[in-house]
């Protein structure tokens, strides 16, 4: 990859500077138009500042450590926080964060199977979702019911595709599998991406693929939305986790950000007063809650965690059923929300 390509990656990261900082420098915090943190390795403190928006003093993503005089861009942050030494690994991590495809090889090595740039574009995501059909009577409905997800009305964000292409990525030929397709949208409702969950031929489980699901398009800050948010919203990582909470609390609007990193960077809708964060029972989930809760507080929004008894809320739903999950969730809601959103 040329230096110009690296500069383009740095510019792309700069356009999402705050999300980059929240992901790689979670010990810092926003201070006006800067992200303040201890150093480029992410230690707590305030001596280093990262510019979050373009200004006469420099472009977004540029940083300076006042204690040492060091300075750089967001690629340097990725290098330091991830302990990477090879330039190619730094760029690969930046592309992973930005959901960009791998570049074509230039050293004569055989090309590896990889998504084409159009596959990750919002236009391709919209095309895929338009080609899919409503889930009623399809293998997508079979799959969701196998996960004890039965509230299938008003799920316009979900569709079914009978032959969704899989690019294995290891030189193997393309495959097609049935798939549950989810529409990723921004706060205005415009589709920015799509999420594919490939299904077994009978719909009883996920397809035997590694991984069995992938996202495409622009995801950062956006999500798969269920219900119309108002003053209260629930936000989680995975589709099944968010849908499980919806199963038990059908009146509570929710959004699935599709990963812990994207959950921490989720855009908050205007007028939001209280945010419930649907957690997975792992360190990544707790980290995402900490990042999102801090952003919520800065915006004047109350943030509350919803913690499962098992690995996630779909595990709880499968083990205990919707009625017991309803009771467990109700205990974690603010009193005024228990009746409003169907809690006991």
pLDDT band for 3, please (50, 70, 90 cuts): low
**Which helix (H) or strand (E) segment is 293 a member of?**
helix 283-298
Question: SS3 for 113?
Answer: coil
pLDDT tens across 185-232, in order? 999 999 999 999 999 999 999 999 988 999 888 888 899 999 988 899
Would you state the pLDDT for residue 115?
Answer: 41
pLDDT tens across 123-155, in order? 889 999 999 999 999 999 999 999 999 999 889
What is the location of CATH 3.40.1360.10 in the chain? Answer: 224-340
Q: Which token pair is 121?
A: 């574009």
Query: What fold characterizes domain 3-98?
Result: DNA Primase; Chain A (3.90.580)
Backbone phi and psi for residue 84, each to the nearest 5 degrees, phi listed first: -95, 140
Question: SS3 for 213?
Answer: strand
The burial class, CB within 10 Å (0-12 / 13-18 / 19+), for 134 is middle
Residues 6+ apart with CB under 8 A from 261: 23, 97, 288
Least-confidence region, from 1-10, 23-32, 234-243: 1-10
Q: Tell which CATH classification among 3.40.50.300, 3.40.1360.10, 3.30.70.20, 3.30.540.10 matches the domain 224-340.
A: 3.40.1360.10
CA distances from 77 to 19, 32, 39, 306 (A): 13, 20, 9, 32
DSSP state of 266: P
CA 183, 214, 293 angle in degrees (round to 5)? 70
């Amino acid at each position: 990859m040329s230096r110009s390509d690296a500069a383009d990656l740095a510019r792309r990261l700069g356009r999402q500077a705050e999300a980059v900082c929240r992901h790689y420098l979670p010990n810092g915090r926003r201070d006006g138009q800067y992200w303040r943190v201890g150093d480029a390795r992410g230690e707590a403190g305030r001596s280093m500042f990262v510019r979050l928006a373009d200004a006469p003093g420099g472009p977004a993503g540029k940083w300076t450590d006042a204690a040492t005089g060091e300075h750089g861009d967001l690629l340097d942050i990725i290098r330091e926080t991830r302990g990477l030494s090879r330039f190619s690994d730094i760029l690969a991590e930046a592309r992973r964060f930005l959901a960009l495809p791998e570049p074509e090889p230039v050293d004569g090595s055989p090309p590896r199977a990889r998504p084409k740039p159009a596959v990750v574009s919002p236009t391709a995501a919209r095309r895929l979702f338009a080609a899919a059909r409503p889930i009623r009577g399809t293998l997508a409905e079979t799959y969701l019911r196998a996960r004890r997800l039965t509230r299938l009305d008003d799920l316009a964000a979900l569709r079914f595709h009978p032959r969704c292409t899989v690019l294995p990525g290891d030189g193997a030929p393309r495959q097609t599998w049935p798939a549950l397709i989810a529409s990723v949208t921004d706060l205005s409702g415009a589709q920015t991406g799509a999420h594919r969950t490939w299904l077994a031929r009978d719909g009883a489980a996920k397809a035997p693929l590694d991984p069995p699901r992938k996202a495409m398009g622009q995801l950062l800050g956006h999500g798969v939305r269920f219900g119309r948010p108002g003053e209260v919203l629930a936000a989680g990582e995975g589709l099944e986790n968010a849908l499980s909470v919806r199963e038990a609390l059908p009146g509570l609007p929710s959004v699935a950000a599709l990963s812990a990193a994207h959950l921490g960077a989720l855009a908050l809708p205007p007028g939001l007063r209280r945010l419930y964060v649907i957690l997975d029972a792992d360190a990544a989930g707790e980290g995402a809650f900490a990042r999102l809760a801090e952003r919520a507080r800065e915006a004047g929004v109350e943030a509350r965690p919803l913690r499962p008894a098992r690995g996630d809320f779909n595990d709880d739903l499968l083990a205990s059923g919707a009625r017991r999950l309803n009771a467990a969730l109700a205990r974690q809601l603010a009193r005024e929300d228990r009746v409003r959103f169907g809690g006991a």
